[in-house]
């Protein structure tokens, strides 16, 4: 579709761009203590964007001369990204650590990042892929270092920049090899060109695939590209940690699913591709091993942490591993599984991070011991936190179980070849119980029972807890609507 015609389908992104401009201008007008009001402009713009997405057609098509796809698949991820951004913005309004700074541009940058994530989940051209990844990365560097008088935050930002630059450099190299082999930047033309390549270019193809995997692996923090995660997650403002653990990961998975399906897969009608386009590398097995390593390492290190925030950082690596379990299958149900997991993970993980933020503000400290006796002091926090921990472990009847159930189902459906992976995943869930339930132990089992009662600092706190806790519980036993939505959303744009 030509550029001008494409604009008619680009409403959500255009609205988001206008929101960014409005936020920048609003930030110029407000004085420092009022600068948080930029959040309302951003939230309002994002609400309009959401409506724009919902009233758009679901007919798959491509925009801007085949660089951006417009399909239910990307719409699903856009909505996920919008929900997580909106919740994190609300969380940021509560968070005390941000109150010391002028906060207007914080919200502006988050909105720009949302724009980048939108493009990431819908790009079908390697230039657009790189561009969108860079938009997201650079905005993340800013946000990670937002606490500029805090040395940990500075360290986080610098580490993030170095790792990010390094991995996107490698990825770019992989993409350029791919361009050299195929002579095009568009996913579908690449796929056709790859299928016609002779065996002598196989080495170059494998090399480029591995390099590209490095870039994606970095984005979803898969082992062995995870080294940045704990330090960045610990140093960043907790709100941004929560955001980084959800939104870029969701977009990263979207990009990865689309790229591997459409470039390296032998793409038939619907999304059930195989990996046969690359010979000479046991590709599904490789990803399966990476997935097993990711969740095992994430879990084993999470056990040893004494800070809840750092524990959640490592556990988010483990969760990336669970989601990767479904990648090697490349079936429709594995895509559904990852989408379902991300949806459930959004609520429970944001909830867990929000509790950490709130407890840090009220009690001071992110250690396990700061949670001692919370069950008596702040039951309105402790009960949702118990729910979030149980959900992250994956116990029914909570949302986390449904996510795991879908992932396991995708693995087992593909036949006995990957049963070992399901075992590794199952054992890892048991390991994760140990550190998640430790939070519950500190809240209820340890610490003197006192009659001290800390009132919630604002209604907004209760509101956010409710918004995250209710889906974490209800979606655990009634997920039909979500399941239907997801099964409609696996439709990707399939080329011309």
How many whole angstroms separate alpha carbon 144 and alpha carbon 110? Answer: 11
Torsion sign over Cα 472, 474, 477, 483 = negative
Closer residue to other proteins (CB): 200 or 451: 451
Closer residue to other proteins (CB): 106 or 436: 436
Taking CA atoms, 352 is separated from 130, 397, 428, in Å, by 32, 17, 19
Closer residue to other proteins (CB): 301 or 390: 390
Closer residue to other proteins (CB): 293 or 412: 412
CB of residue 484 vs other proteins: minimum separation in angstroms? 6
Residues that bind other proteins (CB under 8 A): 390, 395-397, 401, 405, 408-409, 412-413, 416, 419, 422-423, 426-427, 429-430, 433-434, 437, 440-441, 444-446, 449, 477-480, 483-484, 487
CB of residue 395 vs other proteins: minimum separation in angstroms? 5
Would you say 366 and 307 are in contact if contact means Cβ atoms under 8 Å apart?
yes
Closer residue to other proteins (CB): 114 or 386: 386
CB of residue 447 vs other proteins: minimum separation in angstroms? 12
Q: Which residue is associated with the tokens 């060109």? A: 193
Closer residue to other proteins (CB): 129 or 407: 407
55-58, long-range: CB < 8 A, 24+ apart: 56/9, 56/11, 56/12, 57/9, 58/488, 58/491
Closer residue to other proteins (CB): 190 or 311: 311
Exposure string over 181-211, b if 16+ CB within 10 A, otherwise e: bbebbbbbbbbebbeeeeeeeeeebeebbbb
Closer residue to other proteins (CB): 143 or 402: 402
CB of residue 485 vs other proteins: minimum separation in angstroms? 11
CB of residue 165 vs other proteins: minimum separation in angstroms? 40
CB of residue 258 vs other proteins: minimum separation in angstroms? 23
CB of residue 22 vs other proteins: minimum separation in angstroms? 41
CB of residue 456 vs other proteins: minimum separation in angstroms? 18
CB of residue 406 vs other proteins: minimum separation in angstroms? 9
Closer residue to other proteins (CB): 204 or 409: 409
How many whole angstroms separate alpha carbon 270 and alpha carbon 331? Answer: 9
């Amino acid at each position: 579709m030509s550029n001008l015609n494409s604009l008619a389908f680009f409403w959500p992104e255009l609205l988001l761009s206008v929101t960014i401009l409005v936020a920048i201008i609003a930030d110029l007008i407000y004085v420092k203590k009022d600068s948080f009001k930029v959040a309302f402009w951003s939230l309002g713009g994002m609400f309009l964007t959401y409506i724009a997405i919902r009233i758009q057609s679901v007919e798959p098509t491509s925009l801007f001369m085949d660089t951006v796809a417009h399909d239910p698949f990307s719409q699903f991820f856009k909505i996920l990204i919008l929900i997580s951004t909106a919740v994190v913005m609300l969380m940021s309004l509560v968070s005390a650590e941000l109150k010391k700074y002028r906060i207007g541009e914080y919200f502006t940058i988050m909105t720009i990042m949302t724009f980048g994530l939108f493009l990431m989940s819908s790009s079908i051209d390697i230039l657009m892929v790189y561009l969108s990844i860079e938009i997201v990365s650079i905005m993340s560097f800013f946000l990670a270092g937002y606490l500029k008088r805090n040395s940990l935050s500075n360290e986080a930002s610098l580490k993030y920049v170095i790792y990010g630059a390094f991995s996107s450099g490698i990825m770019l190299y992989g993409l350029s090899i791919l361009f050299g082999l195929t002579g095009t930047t568009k996913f579908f033309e690449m796929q056709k060109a790859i299928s016609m390549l002779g065996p002598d270019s196989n080495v170059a193809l494998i090399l480029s695939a591995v390099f590209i995997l490095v870039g994606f692996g970095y984005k979803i923090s898969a082992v062995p590209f995870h080294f940045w995660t704990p330090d960045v997650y610990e140093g960043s403002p907790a709100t941004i940690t929560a955001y980084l653990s959800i939104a870029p990961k969701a977009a990263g998975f979207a990009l990865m699913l689309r790229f591997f399906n459409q470039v390296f897969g032998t793409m038939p009608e619907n999304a059930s591709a195989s990996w046969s386009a690359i010979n000479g590398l046991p590709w599904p097995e490789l990803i399966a091993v990476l997935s097993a390593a990711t969740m095992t390492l994430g879990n084993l290190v999470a056990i040893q942490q004494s800070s809840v925030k750092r524990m959640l950082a490592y556990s988010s690596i483990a969760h990336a591993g669970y989601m990767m379990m479904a990648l090697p299958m490349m079936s429709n149900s594995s895509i559904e599984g990852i989408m379902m997991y991300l949806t459930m993970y959004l609520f429970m993980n944001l909830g867990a991070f929000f509790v950490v933020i709130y407890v840090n503000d009220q009690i001071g400290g992110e250690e396990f011991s700061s949670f001692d006796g919370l069950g008596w002091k702040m039951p309105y926090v402790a009960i949702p936190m118990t729910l979030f921990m149980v959900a992250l472990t994956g116990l029914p009847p909570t949302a986390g179980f449904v996510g795991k159930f879908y992932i396991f189902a995708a693995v087992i459906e593909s036949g006995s070849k990957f049963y070992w992976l399901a075992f590794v995943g199952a054992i890892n869930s048991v390991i994760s119980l140990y550190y998640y339930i430790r939070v519950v132990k500190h809240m209820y089992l340890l610490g003197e029972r006192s009659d001290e009662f800390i009132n919630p600092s604002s209604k907004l706190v209760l509101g956010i807890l409710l918004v995250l806790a209710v889906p974490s519980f209800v979606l655990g036993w009634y997920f039909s609507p979500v399941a239907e939505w997801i099964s409609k959303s696996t439709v990707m744009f399939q080329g011309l």
